[in-house]
Amino acid sequence: MKHVRGPLCTVDVGERTAETETIDDVLESFLGGRALGTKLAHDRIPFDADPLGADNRLYFATGPLQHSTMSFTGRMSATSVSPLTDGLLSSNAGGFLSRNFTGTGYSAVEITGASDDLVIVHVTDDGVEFEDVPNLEEATVPETCDYIEDEHGLESEHTVVVGPAGENRVRFASIMTSEERAFGRGGLGAVLGSKNVKAITFDGDSTNEVEIPQVQMEIHGEAAQVDHPMKESGTTSVTEYANMVEALPTRYFSELSFEGASDIGGDAVAEKKYKKGTCSACAFACKLPTKDEERGVVTEGPEYETVMAFGSNSGVDDVVDVMQSNKLCDELGLDTISAGDAVAAYLASEDEFGNAELIHDLVEKIAYREDVGDTLAEGIDAFHDELGVENWTAKGMEFPAHDGRTLNGQGLAFATSNRGADHMYAEFYPYEYPLVDQDDAFEKDGLEGKPPKLVELENLNAIKDSGVLCKFSRDFVTPERLEQLLDADYEELLELGGTVVSLERHFNNQRGFDRDDDTVPYEIPDFETGLEEYYAERGWNDDGTVPAERFEGGQSGGATPADD
């Protein structure tokens, strides 16, 4: 099996030390990216660690495919205990960071401890340096990136940065890279902020060689030549269709379609796009640099989930208003989905849907924890009773679009996801709209035949997140091609993916997670039967826990791939 190469670099920001250690045995079994981060986190983070405490650790890792020149490989993974869900969580981001990270020569970088002073950590192939930056307290992401470029000559694609939201420990703060790309879900920005780390830079010329098969060039060529709606309008290309089939959350989830969908959807966003945007080495170029000359709004996006959160779910039908919300979240370091849903919850409580001025004010208040923003910054699971609104979360995480009340398989996927209400954990929705060939599609209603497919998709996405491979490669990287790229049988890869999912679940079980947490705030036909079938397919206990013998030895044991 192809795998990432290089030692682990552990950076203790409290002690201001950096150490390296060889982890070849782990790399050989755990590929890279999310699998590597999950294995290290499972074995090295105390099961009872406070997500915002010094004992929590944060892992950055690339995969073997970041050593290719193939499209869909401009991504990398981050893993830690989430301050939003209180469980183990991996998030990944696109942009141009990953290949600068590989240049350091490390397979993974582990951040632990907590600094007394605000600091930037500089990681290179020559070692690690620490720079106190009290002048950057509550600086925005662009301000921080400008400082790093001016002082160190490193552009934003060499950096991960937290904005004021991360410093202020907003529970859904993101880690930003390339200024406008986000490790978005789960609040990993708050983890970095709790360690008093404003930014980390990665630079070097010590990339370890990983030979990738020539099939990469076939995939790259097809990505360059294909005519695809995402090349014009990114993920917003699905907006009007989701609206038509009633899977577009609207006015804080009280409705399933939005009368203004066409004003904020794919065509509306495409009209504001002023150039092509992409990630490292990718010819698919599905990103969305947008601007509105009249109002002076320039941003990247919004993507579909942001259109939902700050558009339909907030009752806003002006695409420029949604662009401005997107811009503020990027600058302040906020996950647009959780931030938009939190704002929508407040709008519902105050009957203020559509008030764009209030929305933009609330985003800033959340980032700085001012007034009601301090309440909203805790997340819907924490504040819903106080505001008198329904708790639209799963495992504490706010919901994206692709509503499970219409797409029932995606609803089950929201419930089983170790990451909480995240549409990319299993990515079941394409099979129910459908956005795949009819022979592979499922009916939207019910769960018949869906749990085995859900397990396969969760396992497959764990491999993609470990490769690391963009999810939009779905139409290009077939199982046969994935086998060639990673030099492993498809079933072997799915087995490793299942191990990753079970490691996450096992860690979370030690923190008290069980079947009671595998739920959604609405009814799905035959939900309990579907959940039982899912557990059986995974070989888990009926209470949603991983059998004790699966990873014998706990955190000191050597967990190895197990059959799911």
In order of start, what are the domains of the chain with their CATH numbers? 8-203 (3.60.9.10), 228-398 (1.10.569.10), 408-556 (1.10.599.10)
Which whole number is the average pLDDT over 158-171?
98
Query: Alpha carbon of 106 to those of 23, 199, 208, 300, 442: distances in Å?
Result: 10, 18, 8, 30, 42
Segment 294-318 mean pLDDT:
98
pLDDT tens profile 32-73: 999 999 999 999 999 999 999 999 999 999 999 999 999 999
What pLDDT was estimated at residue 429?
98
What SS3 string covers 11-73?
A: EECCCCEEEEECCHHHHHHHCCHHHHHHHHHHHHCCCCCCCCCCCCCEEEECCHHHHCCCCCC
Q: Mean pLDDT throughout 363-367?
A: 98
- Pick from 420, 412, 431: which is nearest to 532 by CA? 412
* Strand (E) or helix (H) holding 350: helix 336-350
Strand residue runs (E) in 397-441? 397-398
How many residues can be counted in the chain? 564
Residue 378 confidence (pLDDT) above 50: yes
Global confidence as pTM: 0.96
Q: What is the pLDDT of residue 553?
A: 60
Residues 6+ apart with CB under 8 A from 165: 172, 173, 174, 189, 190, 193, 332, 333, 334, 366, 367, 377
Give the whole-number percent of the chain exceeding pLDDT 90.
97
Q: Give Cβ neighbours of residue 221 (< 8 Å, ≥ 6 apart).
A: none
pLDDT tens-digit series, residues 97-116? 999 999 999 999 999 999 99
Decide: 72 and 66 in contact? Cβ < 8 Å.
no
How far apart (Å, rounded) are the C-alpha atoms in residues 285 and 276? 6
User: Is the distance from CB of 370 to CB of 336 less than 8 angstroms?
Assistant: no
In this predicted structure, what is the pLDDT of residue 172? 98
Task: Give the pLDDT band of residue 554 (cuts 50, 70, 90).
Answer: low
pLDDT (0 to 100) of residue 555: 60
CA 331 to chain centre: 18
pLDDT in tens, 382-421: 999 999 999 999 999 999 999 999 999 999 999 999 999 9
Dihedral sign (CA 461, 463, 465, 469): negative
Q: Per-residue pLDDT averaged across 478-492, rounded?
A: 98
Task: Convert the pLDDT of each residue in 221-233 to its tens digit.
Answer: 999 999 999 999 9
pLDDT score for 376: 98
Is the pLDDT confidence value at 563 over 50?
no
pLDDT at position 306 over 50: yes
The answer, yes or no, to whether residue 556 has pLDDT greater than 90, is no
Residues 466-471 have a mean pLDDT of: 98
User: What are 525-551's pLDDT values in tens digits?
Assistant: 999 999 999 999 999 999 999 998 898
pLDDT band at 557; cut points 50, 70, 90: very low
For the segment 179-231, what is each residue's pLDDT rounded down to a tens digit? 999 999 999 999 999 999 999 999 999 999 999 999 999 999 999 999 999 99
**Mean of the per-residue pLDDT values for the chain?**
96
Phi, psi of 176 (to 5 degrees): -105, 145
Determine the number of helices (DSSP H) and then strands (DSSP E) in the chain: 22, 16
What angle do the packed helices 408-416 and 527-538 form, to 10 degrees?
Answer: 50
Compute the CA torsion angle 441, 444, 448, 452 (nearest 10 deg): 50
pLDDT at 560 over 60: no
Measured distance CA(474)–CA(480) in Å, rounded: 12
| pLDDT > 60? residue 316 | yes
Sequence-distant (≥ 6) Cβ neighbours of residue 67 within 8 angstroms:
4, 102, 207, 208, 209, 210, 212
Judge contact between 88 and 42, C-beta under 8 A: yes
Q: Does the pLDDT value for residue 522 go beyond 90?
A: yes
Average pLDDT over residues 448-474: 97
